[in-house]
Every structure is written in structure tokens, then in C-alpha cells.
A = this chain, B = another copy of it.
Amino acid sequence: MPRPVLLFSGQWTDLPLEDLTQKASEWGYQGLELCCGGDHLEVQRAVSEPDYCQQKLDLLTRYDLTAPVVSSHRVSQAVGDVIDRRHRAILPDYVWGDGNPDEVPQRAAEEMMATARTAQKLGASILGGFTGSPLWSYVNGYPAPAPATVAAGFAEAARRWHPILDVCRECGLKFACEVHPGQLAFDLYSAEMLLDALDGREELGFLLDPSHLHWQGIDPAEFVRRFPDRIVHVHIKDTVLQLNGRNGLLGSYLPYGDPRRGWDFRAPGHGGIDWESFIRALNAAGYDGALAVEWKDSGMDRLYGAEEACKFVKRLDFEPAPPRDDQAFRNS
């Protein structure tokens, strides 16, 4: 049984959900990863309007789609971050409020709990998002943080996230924390630290998007092999390295799509990720969750690309071997 191929709705919140649903269905997707944004998922309405979730489900069902994953990357970012003016643009007004940096994280945490309850109503088993990070400015910065400073940052983040994870447990959800620059966990060893900081509690898993590891020099398949039981959601997005001696991996403040960047996102199969070894690592780890296309490519039409990507993922996701038995003729 191949894994369901989803479309991450975050890049499409400019379209009404019904439009996106129709397109995704035509393109061959089996479901959506519903993101908070536009009319795709409005948490406060979902909480307060009795039929809200059912209507969303009905809509998806009409197009034969499922929604096993719900995501809220923007609000979750504010839970653990040092808040600054950038956050205003990504938060609902009622979370931002007066923008007091000491209070925004708490409001963001409450919104995440409400999102978890909404995800449960939608029948999802995974809640995706970020953690934010009080430590990001120290990564490769100067002065290097003392170990105690790093530890304190993780402890503070744990304090903020435990209550949300408690709600996830109640709701039967895993929180899929994306391994991503700007977050506490952005590579293999920082992911270990995050698990430790949260006592390895069961509700915590990782959302793995190979595109964020590739340009750092990390092999996504090694990440899977290190945490075979913690991968609870997967994004499919590609990255291209275009180093030429003049540009670099830190990106020079240049936006995606600027040809001077040292790396950029690409439609799956159009970059440098070794998808073969990645899917085999997922197979070996027994991962049976969804594969969600997060479509982002500054050089390709998104309508054209989203359809192509769906086909790409289905081709990629070959049938793994059944549990090993002795083979009759092993060595010729």
C-alpha cells in the first residue's frame, strides 16, 4: 500500500480552498495538508462554529481528498521565538495583539492548543509546525554562546511547548516539528538536543523536509536512519546548489529566485536531492505516513509544477520489499 500523496496548502492560501481542492484532485493528489491561512483553516471559526470542520471535510470528500495532517507554521513559530516586527506579518491580529514580545508567545501557544483541538475534529493524526527558537541568532554568530546559554534556551522552549504537547496527547495527535533553519532543531545533533530537552516525550516527532538539510551538507537519509521512530511527517521539496565561488550558502540576504543565491528551492526532481536513498531510508524505517508536496520553485509555473510533482512522488514511492525472508538464489 503506497503512501498518500498530499499537497501542502500553505503556498496556495491565495486561492479559496474549494479551488485548490478541485485542482489538487485533478492533479492526482490524494489529500491536502491543511494550513492555517486564507479560508483553508480558520482556527477561531473552527472552534466556535459547530459545522465548520464538517463542512471542510465535506468539501474534501466531494473531491475524494483526505486531510490527515493539519499545519500551523506561522503561529507555532511565535511560541518559541524572540518576537520582533517580522512576526506581525505572519500572525493573526488576535495573536499579535499589541505585539508585546513577552505576551505574544503565550497567545501563540493558546492558538496552537486550539489548532490541535481543531485537527482532532478534522480527524487528523498529525499537527505540523515550527518551534521558533530563542537561540537562532547564536548559530554561527559571535560571540559563541556558552553551553549554559544553549541549555537555557532549550529549557525555556521546553517550558513553552510542554502544555501544547499535553493537548496533542489528549487529542491523539503527534506534533510534527519541522527540522528547519530558524528553529531549535535544524540538523541531526540539534534534533537530538530538542528531543532531550522535551524528555523524549511521545507526542513529539519530526517533520522532515530534505530540502532544508541538503544545502547544509546533511544527508536526509542519515537523518531518517538516526530517528527511524520519530519521523511522523514528510515534505517533498527539492534544493539546488548553484555555488560558483562568488556566492555562498548563507544567502547574502537575497530572496529565493535571485540568481546570485548559492542555493535555492526547486520542484521535486529538479534539484540535487538523492530521492532514491531517501525513500529507501523511509522504507527501511517503516515510515507509513504521508508524502506532502510543498511546492516552491521560483523558476516554474506553479500550476504546471504541482501536477508534475504529484506524478514525480507517485513514481518515486515504489513498493518496498516485504520483511526479509531467505532468498533461494542469493549470490549468482
Contact = CB atoms under 8 A, between A and B. Distances in A.
A313 B25 CA distance: 28
A219 B190 contact: no
Number of copies: 6
A82 interface: yes
Contact of A213 (B85, B145, B248): B248
Given A181-B250, A284-B259, A299 B328 contact: no
A143 B88 CA distance: 10
Given A180-B332, A304-B318, A318-B305, A187 B248 contact: yes
Chain A, interface SS category: loop
Interface string A167-194: 0000000000010111100111110010
B218 A187 contact: no
Given A245-B222, A299-B321, A253 B135 contact: yes
A45 interface: no
A14 B254 CA distance: 41
A27 interface: no
Given A217-B247, A280-B299, 8 more contacts: A11-B328, A13-B328, A73-B142, A189-B260, A217-B249, A225-B259, A242-B277, A249-B249
